[in-house]
Amino acid sequence: MLFNSLDFAVFFPIVFIVYWFVVNRKLQLQNLFIVLASFVFYGWWDWRFLALLFSSCVVNYVAGRLLSARNEKPVRRLLLWTAVVYNIGLLVVFKYLNFFIGSFVSAFTFFGLNITGGSLNIILPVGISFFTFQALGYVLDVYRRNVEMERNFISFSAYVSFFPLILAGPIERATHLLPQFSQKRTFDYSKATDGLRQILWGLFKKIVIADNCAEYANLIFNNSVDYGGSTLVFGALLYTVQIYADFSGYSDIAIGVSRLLGFDVLRNFNFPYFSVSVADFWRRWHIALSFWLRDYLYNPLSVKIRRWGMKGIVFSFFITFLLCGLWHGANYTFIVWGVLHGLALAWDVISFKYRKKIKKNLKKLNLYNFLSWLITFTFIVFTWIIFRADTIREAADFIKNMFSGLLIKSSYIETLNLLRWEIGLIIPVFTLLFFLLEWLGRKQQYAIENLGMKWKRFFRWAIYYVMVFAILYFSGKEQQFIYFQF
């Protein structure tokens, strides 16, 4: 079930009414209702994978209880590794098995050995990377004794399957979300109106910005051999806008829906395209995943090999972002994308002293910040090309044609004609307005959090109505959320 679908428009009001007016007197009844609603929400896509979700709840719940009950280090380690193997095993089977079989066959073919390997045609369950990481994070926290194990199976199942987050996060931490299922929730009008405002902003980003950009980004990427250099640059920029508006829009809706149900969920984006370094970017982009990887992978690894010095830091970044790329999907393009980000982060650390010295000696600080932003943004756009391509060859051809065509005059005329005759003014105007609002609201949780709060109510509501009008009349062709495939 998609947040921007008619199904959800019917489903959520029913959930909201039953949640606040029927089952609100008993906390466990409310939690049980969340579990049922979450399983309906998830099963709406494919009911056959409900058993997978249920098994994840059972196995990680049992693992938490056993870890909490035992103090012997070897036993606790064995229990931890059993849970890790189970969770990673789910991802390997459902997400990577066909990729590994294909890579294995290709490697042998490369060395002149022809072997056959069949595809198992395994369907990738939506959201598996998200709820698996959320459950695994709980087990790791119980092992480290960062959080008490959850005794109540219904509360734990509600935490793992919580429907606003199950398909594409944010990946919540047990230390933050799980205790909220043990606390009585009362309806908070100001929290609810803030949630509605964030949902409106998320829908605007997804339906008006992302879906419209997607139509032309797909056109250019799918026919890249037919376009000149500047049009390919334009296509890369469109995809850069699309993926941000799409994923952050989803996160805004998820957080807003959670707030309507009385939950506080961690933010997932902090205006990442205003970053002035790649490290800064990863503190602002997909924050839930960045911090998960930092706490459960990068930090333990870098501590383990701290005697390596700078080489250890570089190696830790490399491994963390190699796996970050692989988390996004079973494709070499994601791996290369992850490795490039890992190397860029390592460069950030290595060059920190030199950059600090340059910044100190440079009198024009604004110029330094602008150049830092420009270099970072260019790097992000460049790596999105690799991320978006179906194969490494396709990405290489796109980049090669992009640079080779930039000096050809007809390429610019082609781009202008595309803008003038096919795209029109609406999308560019809305996109510029979108980034203007993002810039003005960059110190808030989301761009329109406080927009118009000091104005007369009429003007503030006029802005909301304009956004609703834009959602209804300037929606692009409906596109699935990009991060559903991960």
Residue 176 catalytic? no
- Taking each continuous run of H as one helix and of E as one strand, the counts in the chain are 22, 0
pLDDT tens for 51-68 read 889 999 999 999 999 999
The answer to whether residues 79 and 67 touch, using CB atoms and an 8 Å cutoff, is yes
User: What is the distance of C-alpha 280 from the center of its chain?
Assistant: 16
The mean pLDDT of 228-239, rounded to a whole number, is 91
Residue 419: CB partners within 8 Å, gap ≥ 6? 234, 428
Q: What is the pLDDT of residue 122?
A: 63
Q: What is the pLDDT of residue 121?
A: 61
Cα angle 265, 270, 274; round to 5 = 175
Residues in the chain: 486
pLDDT band at 331 (very low <50, low <70, confident <90, very high): confident
Q: What is the pLDDT of residue 369?
A: 85
Q: What is the pLDDT of residue 25?
A: 86
pLDDT band at 123 (very low <50, low <70, confident <90, very high): low
Where does residue 287 rank: exposed (0-12), middle (13-18), buried (19+ CB within 10 A)? buried
pLDDT band at 363 (very low <50, low <70, confident <90, very high): low
Residue 275 or 358, more confident: 275
Give me the amino acid identity at 335.
I
* CA atoms within 13 Å, Cβ hemisphere of 92: 8
> 176, 286, 328, 341: which one is catalytic?
328
DSSP assignment of 176-196 equals HHGGGGGS-----HHHHHHHH
pLDDT band at 105 (very low <50, low <70, confident <90, very high): low
CB atoms within 10 A of CB 433: 15
The mean pLDDT of 5-31, rounded to a whole number, is 91
pLDDT band at 205 (very low <50, low <70, confident <90, very high): very high
Alpha carbon separation from 437 to 98, 191, 285, 441, 444 (Å, rounded): 43, 22, 18, 6, 11
pLDDT band at 425 (very low <50, low <70, confident <90, very high): confident
Element (H, E) at 50: helix 50-69
Among left, alpha and beta (phi > 0; psi -120 to 50; other), residue 262 is: left
The answer to whether residues 256 and 202 touch, using CB atoms and an 8 Å cutoff, is yes
pLDDT at 119 over 60: no
Sheet strands (E) in 95-165: none
Q: What is the pLDDT of residue 473?
A: 83
Comparing CA positions, the residue from 171, 208, 189, 195 lying closest to residue 437 is 208
The answer to whether residues 24 and 30 touch, using CB atoms and an 8 Å cutoff, is yes
* CA atoms within 13 Å, Cβ hemisphere of 51: 1
pLDDT tens for 32-54 read 999 999 999 998 878 888 888 99
Q: What is the pLDDT of residue 120?
A: 54
pLDDT band at 292 (very low <50, low <70, confident <90, very high): very high
* CA atoms within 13 Å, Cβ hemisphere of 158: 25
The answer to whether residues 292 and 133 touch, using CB atoms and an 8 Å cutoff, is yes
Q: What is the pLDDT of residue 404?
A: 81
pLDDT at 269 over 90: yes
Q: What is the pLDDT of residue 180?
A: 94
pLDDT tens for 412-424 read 888 888 888 888 8
**R_g of the chain computed on alpha carbons:** 24
Residue 170: CB partners within 8 Å, gap ≥ 6? 251, 254, 255, 265, 266, 267, 268, 287, 288
pLDDT at 484 over 80: no
The mean pLDDT of 344-359, rounded to a whole number, is 83
Mean pLDDT of the chain: 87
